[in-house]
Amino acid sequence: MIKVEHLHKSFGEFKALKDISLEIRDGEIVSLIGPSGSGKSTLLRCIHGLEQADSGTIYLDGEVMDPSNKEKYREQRKKMGFVFQHFNLFNNKTVLENCMLAQITSAGRSEQEAYDISMEYLTRVGMADKADSYPSRLSGGQKQRAAIARALCMNPEMMLFDEPTSALDPEMIKEVLDVMKDLGRQGMTMIVVTHEMGFARKVGSRVVFLEAGEIIEENESEAFFSNPASERARDFLSKVFYD
């Protein structure tokens, strides 16, 4: 579904991505892991279009994503749902209103249609009873589940998650990961920037390990965790799995 070729991205003198090439196949759950500052979130944001790469090419379903072709690029981006680390819900709108807004303004749906779709996905993530609540009245896990529902309301072909659990208290993490696990069972293609190694190993189909803006290693999840090929990956895993 996604093909990245020779992607470069810098912020001033800092080279965030260095010649990244990557393919994401339909139905895969790909975990982007690595130390802080390795380029994981920048790569995800470039794929979605929240950041523009300095050079390189991104393909979606075999077609180039070209920001200069604004109308086509906008339609391509709609195929990708994005879930942020800090939820990015509108605090002055209820959960239901957060879910309905883009459907009405961007997808041109009627209020009734947007309402029906919103309630369908809020039910799916276990948040229907919080539809009329404002984000300030929700726990972190509830906010993130609402954000996932909001993204799903746009009927994306794939979901991009940028550290979706890193802002959550430990007891809230499982409820969000369970929703993501259910999406995976239903065949949703996902790219997940995560520090949750258990999720990456048990739920993810493939791991891409980055450091200093480069892909150091990629492999099927179980193979990566059981027998990492690179010394840097072995060192990283020895530090994140406390024995």
Which residues of the chain are under the pLDDT cut of 50? none
- List the one residue out of 18, 207, 34, 12 whose CA is nearest residue 4: 18
| Closest to 154 (Cα-Cα) out of 76, 67, 79, 71 | 79
The pLDDT score that the predictor gives to residue 58 is 97
Q: Looking at residue 8, what is its pLDDT?
A: 97
Q: pTM higher than 0.75, yes or no?
A: yes
- What's the pLDDT score for residue 241? 74
- Whether 172 is covered by a domain: the verdict is no
141 Cβ contact list (under 8 Å, min separation 6): 168, 169, 172, 173, 175, 176
Structural domain boundaries, residue 97: 88-156
Does residue 243 form part of some domain? no
The total domain count for the chain is: 1
Does 174 reside within a domain?
no
Give, in order, the Cα–Cα distances in Å from 237 to each of 32, 35, 192, 205, 229.
14, 10, 18, 18, 12
Is 13 contained in some domain? Answer: no
pLDDT for the residue 90:
94
- Least Cα distance to 51 among 36, 40, 61 occurs for 40
Is 95 contained in some domain?
Answer: yes
Q: Is 37 within the bounds of a domain?
A: no
Find the angle CA(47)-CA(50)-CA(55) to the nearest 5 degrees. Answer: 55
CB 30 within 8 A of CB 225: no
pLDDT of residue 167: 81
**Residue 242 pLDDT:** 61
* pLDDT recorded at residue 243: 52
Pairing of strands 29-33, 206-211: parallel
In a domain, 98, yes or no: yes
Helix-then-strand count for the chain, H and E: 9, 10
Tell me if 213 is assigned to some domain: no
